[in-house]
């Protein structure tokens, strides 16, 4: 790796790149010891990471290259696993990300399907249940430990697929397995910072006449009524719940899922969240007005209703030109 990082041939992308690579005794190790009667000799585990030393080199612009070797205060050298070194160093440095390479596309499940994302909790449950074996187990343990200790994301990607790193970092779905310390995707109450994302999501649907137009100002006033589905910092779904307390009624509105993320149950999850909020507010009848999504609602327990059944305030603002159909669901 050092020789590759030192390359500078004229006809290579490394021409004139002067990359300083530093290695050293930044990882202290301890012996694994004797396990089940077997002495592991010079096989060790990470004991401590010299964070100050590494940070100084990073400040100087060096690439710090740590081999899977560690030294002990007794003056011995130990052979470490690279997953252990990577995970521990990432955690000690409170790195933004840990990226590990493997021969497969990422981690595969029992049916040899790629596991795209796992929360640290799901990862540790799989490890505890003995569902991940061999090298995959080492990778997942390191990813999980790093996440539990404050690294937000750990990626396990292929060293064999050209472009796997770019795809992992710059596409929403990535190329390998992502282990994250936080909820990678969540449905939650919207905040003012989400307005830009909501507008981006709904504008194409407004242009197609599927959703009623809403200005940024309107969204700012109504943001408290919105829930959003957020995936890795991007808004991929939203819905609003308007409450008409005098009639114990509510309206589900501005309901949308990003085109690229449809047909994966997000609509159902958003609806479930809206229904839960509605029940919490004492709403007994949940209305939805739609021009093109009638069957989606009917398949989810909404019954055809009429404009006259709408709560008074909503009735007053009903746009007869749009001629939306009215559906209602009685919340148990």
Ligand X SMILES: CC(C)(COP(=O)(O)OP(=O)(O)OC[C@H]1O[C@@H](n2cnc3c(N)ncnc32)[C@H](O)[C@@H]1OP(=O)(O)O)[C@@H](O)C(=O)NCCC(=O)NCCS
Residues of the shown chain interacting with ligand X in the complex, contacts defined by CB under 6 A:
205, 210, 255-257, 262-268, 288, 290, 292-293, 295-296
User: Cβ closer to ligand X: 102 or 290?
Assistant: 290
User: Cβ closer to ligand X: 26 or 255?
Assistant: 255
User: Cβ closer to ligand X: 70 or 237?
Assistant: 237
Alpha-helix runs per DSSP H in the chain: 2-6, 51-59, 82-93, 120-128, 134-148, 164-170, 195-207, 216-222, 266-280, 294-298, 312-316
> CA 243 → CA 37, 82, 106, 212, 215, distances in Å?
68, 55, 46, 18, 20
CB of 293 to ligand X, least distance (A): 4
**Lookup: tokens for 93:** 């440095």
Pairing of strands 153-158, 97-102: parallel
- Could you tell me which of 95, 92, 74 has the C-alpha nearest to residue 31? 74
- Could you tell me which of 172, 327, 192 has the C-alpha nearest to residue 249? 327
CB of 252 to ligand X, least distance (A): 7
| Burial class of residue 179 in the structure, from the number of CB atoms within 10 Å of its CB (0-12 exposed, 13-18 middle, 19+ buried) | buried
User: Cβ closer to ligand X: 84 or 194?
Assistant: 194
State how far the Cα of 206 lies from the Cα of 216, in Å rounded to an integer.
13
CB of 100 to ligand X, least distance (A): 32
Nearest-CB residue for ligand X: 267
User: Cβ closer to ligand X: 98 or 271?
Assistant: 271
User: Cβ closer to ligand X: 146 or 202?
Assistant: 202
CB of 125 to ligand X, least distance (A): 26
**Lookup: tokens for 180:** 């994250």
State how far the Cα of 200 lies from the Cα of 196, in Å rounded to an integer.
6
CB of 254 to ligand X, least distance (A): 8
CB of 316 to ligand X, least distance (A): 20
CB of 256 to ligand X, least distance (A): 4
Backbone dihedral angles phi then psi of residue 168, each to the nearest 5 degrees: -65, -40
The b-or-e profile of 223-238 (16+ CB within 10 A means b, else e) is bebbbbbbbeeebbbb
Return the biggest CA–CA distance within the chain.
85
CB of 325 to ligand X, least distance (A): 10
**Lookup: tokens for 290:** 């739609």
User: Cβ closer to ligand X: 266 or 285?
Assistant: 266
User: Cβ closer to ligand X: 95 or 210?
Assistant: 210
């Amino acid at each position: 790796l050092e020789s590759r990082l030192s390359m500078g041939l004229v006809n290579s992308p490394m021409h004139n790149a002067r990359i300083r690579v530093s290695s050293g005794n930044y990882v202290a190790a301890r012996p694994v010891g004797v396990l089940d009667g077997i002495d592991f000799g010079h096989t060790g585990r990470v004991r401590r990471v010299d964070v100050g030393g590494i940070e100084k080199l990073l400040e100087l612009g060096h690439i710090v290259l740590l081999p899977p070797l560690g030294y002990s205060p007794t003056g011995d050298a130990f052979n470490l696993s690279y997953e252990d070194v990577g995970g521990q160093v990432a955690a000690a440095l409170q790195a933004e990300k840990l990226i590990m390479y493997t021969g497969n596309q990422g981690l595969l499940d029992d049916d040899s399907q790629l596991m795209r994302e796992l929360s640290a909790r799901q990862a540790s449950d799989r490890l505890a249940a003995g569902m991940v074996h061999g090298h995959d187990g080492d990778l997942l343990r390191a990813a999980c430990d790093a996440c539990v200790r404050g690294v937000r994301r750990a990626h396990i990607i292929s060293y064999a697929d050209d472009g796997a790193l770019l795809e992992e970092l710059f596409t929403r779905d990535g190329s390998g397995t992502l282990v994250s310390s936080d909820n990678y995707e969540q449905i939650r109450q919207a905040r003012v910072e989400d307005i830009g994302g909501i507008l981006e999501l709904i504008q194409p649907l407004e242009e197609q006449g599927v959703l009623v137009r809403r200005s940024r100002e309107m969204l700012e006033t109504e943001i408290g009524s919105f829930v959003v589905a957020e995936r890795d910092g991007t808004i991929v779904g939203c819905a609003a719940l308007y409450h008409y307390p005098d009639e114990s009624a509510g309206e589900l509105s501005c309901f949308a899922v990003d085109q690229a993320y449809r047909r994966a149950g997000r609509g159902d999850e958003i609806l479930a969240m809206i229904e839960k909020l509605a029940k919490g507010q004492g709403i007994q009848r949940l209305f939805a007005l739609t021009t093109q999504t009638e069957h989606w609602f009917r398949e989810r327990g909404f019954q055809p209703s009429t404009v006259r059944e709408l709560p008074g305030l909503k009735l007053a603002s009903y746009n007869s030109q749009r001629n939306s159909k009215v559906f209602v669901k009685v919340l148990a």
